[in-house]
Chains A and B, each alone.
Chain A
Amino acid sequence: MDVRAQVSMTFHLDKCIGCHTCSVACKNIWTDREGTEYMWWNNVETKPGTGYPTKWEDQEQYKGGWQPKGETIQLRVANKASTFANIFHQPHLPTIDDYYEPWTYKYSDLFDSPEGDDQPTARPVSLITGEHIDINSGPNWDDDLSGSMIYAANDPNFNGLTAGQKEAFFELERMVLYYLPRICNHCLNPACVASCPSGALHKRGEDGIVLLDQEVCRAWRFCISACPYKKSYFNWKTGKSEKCILCFPRLESGQPPACFHSCVGRIRYLGVVLYDADKIEAYASAPESELLERQRDMILDPHDPEVIKAAEESGVHFSMVESAQKSPVYKFVKEWKMALPLHPEFRTLPMLFYIPPLLPVLGYIEKGLYNVDTNDYFTSLDKARVPLKYLANMFTAGNEEQIQGVLEKLLAVRTYRRAEEVGDVEAGKLEEMFKKTGLTAEMCEEIFRLTALPTYEERFVVPPMHREAAAELLAEDAYDFKAEVGIGGFKDRPGRGS
């Protein structure tokens, strides 16, 4: 058993209000430089919708992630031989038009235009060429447009839905949407790392954060295609790829990443989980129907003495194990089995888990009317406005039973709270739900508290990164780094010229 620690995440989609504060917080810190304007390491998509870059989930087009090959798996974009053969022109690389051409406005025209009969305007100009452009698309171009026949109709997750189910999505009266905030999943089996010819991409051993060494990257561009979530981006200015770093400088000083910290809906949870690295390849190669279960199996119980012993033998600091014991992610993913990976069928073992949305389950009666009767506000899942198949395509590789299990738990927690607060739940109904979901009143209470009333410290269990010791780990003498600036001694210390 090779135990490793992974800083892991859970997003509660029922709580996301689609305000994009996370995206803006991230952009202001990391991607406001030339060449990165188009990058959104954190973005929020409207679902159903085509997302960013457009139709990123369609791997027939983008060739991201892994595919089964015999007993094991291989990258969809290229094997070792075709990586070398295609290095001069990577046939599946998305271009900037799949994202959008970044622009600004020529504000100076508002002040410098000569006096005339018309109001001066600030025309949009490309941030790449500086020339005037007509803006045809942008990030979140389909924000809140889930009923749109142009955008939502092209959502790859509609595979396998009946014509009737699809139609129901686009009845304006029944229009339904939810938000999907996305960052790098810091996968256990990252396709970007496997695809990088230079070896620039790597996982940090101590916390599992996937990083891209800018000094090693040579712009061979395979990570862009290989990441099925399209979370590795090409900086067209510097000729280097860049990606989400999970704000590791913040984590190292005990703060959660900026997108977590700024989240208005408080939908984000962060904590460490322990996993067995020996199982990565075998579990990522499991049959599609077993992928979700295997990924859960891989996460180890941080209270198990055997696991703790193995962790320390593998070099995981005990403070990391202690942190894992308090992890909200462990509770949502493993204990309660409520949080699901996004598109497990990509086989990268993503470590960002989503609690699927329940709210649109508002019961439909007929002729576009809903049941808003408070007696039966959350009606049965059969009448759900979001067909289970759609959610299953996103979170359980198409398995409707698994997604239904999670939604039933969410319903049980609500019913439990209604019984507590209002007291009008029919006798026996709650017991029946408990029996079906395996939850208890105590668990429901704990889920409710962690969902609705968690404190800052409960949402973000940032592990001690031992930054104070990191400098000593990098060199024999910690004073070697005195007066240096930048991350990891990137720049020379200021000195007198010779």
Chain B
Amino acid sequence: MTSDQLLFGVFPYLCIIIAIGGSIWRFTSDRFSYSSLSSQFLESKQLFWGSVAWHYGILGILTVHLVGLLIPDSILWWNTVPMRMYVMEVTGFTLALFTLVGLLFLIYRRFRHARIRAVTSRMDLVLLGVLLIQVVTGLGIAIFYRWGSSWYAAYAVPYLWSIFTLKPNVSLVSNLPWLVNIHILNAFVMILIIPFTRLVHFLSVPVEFAWRPNQLVRWYKREKVVGPGV
């Protein structure tokens, strides 16, 4: 087995299995620890600039990645006109810039304030490092490779589908530039660390809140009790 096969053919499966198994294990055995671990209560002003820029940036980028993953032809079709490709690249670049600025702000804030340092764990630092690598490589691809988005649709997406369908086709990505490869591999590292970091919070997006009634009541057991009154 070559190192390419190990990295792109075996490692992704390890990451995904550990992420799914680990998240289930943590949810069932230590649900109390599932939290976004917000530190806004200790420092609010700088969090605004970091957290808002980061989250809106990353949500935009993930959405575009997801669209590309589900309908890769849409990206390729869009990019057939050079002008449109530039729009795509500039949009990705801008969103990535948002995430980078937000992330740098968050890292600065975490080291700057004694109160925030007091609630910083080792895994928080690992997470910030992994996210930084991902954002910087993503931004690098946007800057140095104008057709990055087409590559994603033409090579990375078929590769990802080959992973999902359990027929890994390593050759699709192993010859791409090293910057792209780091981006791909680090994405799997990001998935790997989900159950071991505060990243679990994105598994509990409170979707149900959108339609649930204002007041919640929990009964141990509610049934008509026949007593002297009836």
Contact = CB atoms under 8 A, between A and B. Distances in A.
A239 B36 contact: yes
Contact of A240 (B35, B119, B210): B35
B41 A96 contact: yes
Interface in B191-230: 201, 204, 206, 208-210, 212, 214-230
A199 interface: yes
Contacts of A130: 118
A198 B215 contact: no
Interface residues of A, number: 61
Contacts of B34: 215, 218
B39 A205 contact: no
A111 interface: no
Given A198-B204, A218-B35, A203 B209 contact: no
A96 to B, nearest CB: 6
26 contacts: A80-B209, A88-B55, A89-B40, A89-B52, A90-B40, A96-B42, A126-B114, A128-B114, A129-B114, A197-B209, A199-B208, A199-B209, A201-B216, A202-B216, A205-B218, A215-B31, A215-B32, A217-B35, A218-B201, A234-B38, A239-B38, A240-B32, A308-B229, A312-B224, A312-B225, A312-B229
Interface stretch (A116-124, A186-194, A362-370, A406-414): A186-194
A95 interface: yes
Interface in B90-133: 114-115, 117-119
A131 B115 CA distance: 10
Contacts of B182: none
B220 A189 contact: no
B37 interface: yes
B61 interface: no
A129 B115 contact: yes
B229 A214 contact: no
A317 B51 contact: no
Contact of A315 (B32, B117, B222): B222
Nearest to B43: A95
Contact of B42 (A88, A128, A206, A218): A128
The 7 tightest CB contacts between A and B, nearest first, are: A318-B227, A205-B219, A197-B206, A308-B229, A239-B37, A194-B214, A129-B114
A190 B214 CA distance: 9
A95 B47 CA distance: 12
Contacts of A236: 39, 41-42, 119
A321 B36 CA distance: 42
Contacts of B212: 199
A51 B6 CA distance: 63
A495 to B, nearest CB: 14
B218 A239 contact: no
Interface string A74-106: 000000100110001111011110000000000
B229 A131 contact: no
Contacts of A190: 215
A314 B224 CA distance: 6
Contacts of A220: 36, 38, 206
Contacts of B31: 215
B209 A193 contact: no
A313 B230 contact: yes
A321 B209 contact: no
Given A88-B56, A317-B225, 19 more contacts: A88-B52, A88-B55, A93-B44, A94-B41, A129-B114, A129-B117, A196-B209, A198-B204, A198-B206, A199-B206, A199-B216, A204-B217, A215-B34, A218-B206, A219-B38, A221-B40, A224-B41, A234-B41, A316-B225
B218 A473 contact: no
Contacts of B44: 89, 93, 95
Interface of B: 31-32, 34-44, 47-48, 51-52, 54-56, 114-115, 117-119, 201, 204, 206, 208-210, 212, 214-230
A470 interface: yes
A486 to B, nearest CB: 12
Nearest to A319: B227
Contacts of A90: 40
A31 to B, nearest CB: 15
Contacts of B224: 312-315
B102 to A, nearest CB: 10
A205 B214 contact: no
Contact of B227 (A221, A240, A312): A312
Interface string A244-280: 0000000000000000000000000000000000001
A237 interface: yes
B220 A205 contact: yes
B35 A203 contact: no
Contacts of A221: 38, 40-41
A470 B220 contact: yes
Contacts of B54: 88
B216 to A, nearest CB: 4
Contacts of B223: 315
B98 to A, nearest CB: 12
A93 B34 CA distance: 21
Nearest to A311: B229
A281 B55 CA distance: 35
Interface in A292-333: 305, 308-309, 311-318, 321
B8 to A, nearest CB: 33
Contacts of A94: 41
A478 interface: no
A206 B219 contact: yes
Given A90-B40, A96-B42, A205-B222, A193 B227 contact: no
A474 interface: yes
Interface centre among A131, A214, A218, A317 (most CB of B within 10 A): A218
B214 to A, nearest CB: 4
Given A234-B41, A318-B225, A218 B204 contact: yes
B47 A89 contact: yes
Contacts of A217: 35
The listed residue with most A CB atoms (<10 A of its CB), out of B31, B219, B222, B225, is: B225
Contacts of B36: 218-220, 239
B114 to A, nearest CB: 4
A291 B218 CA distance: 27
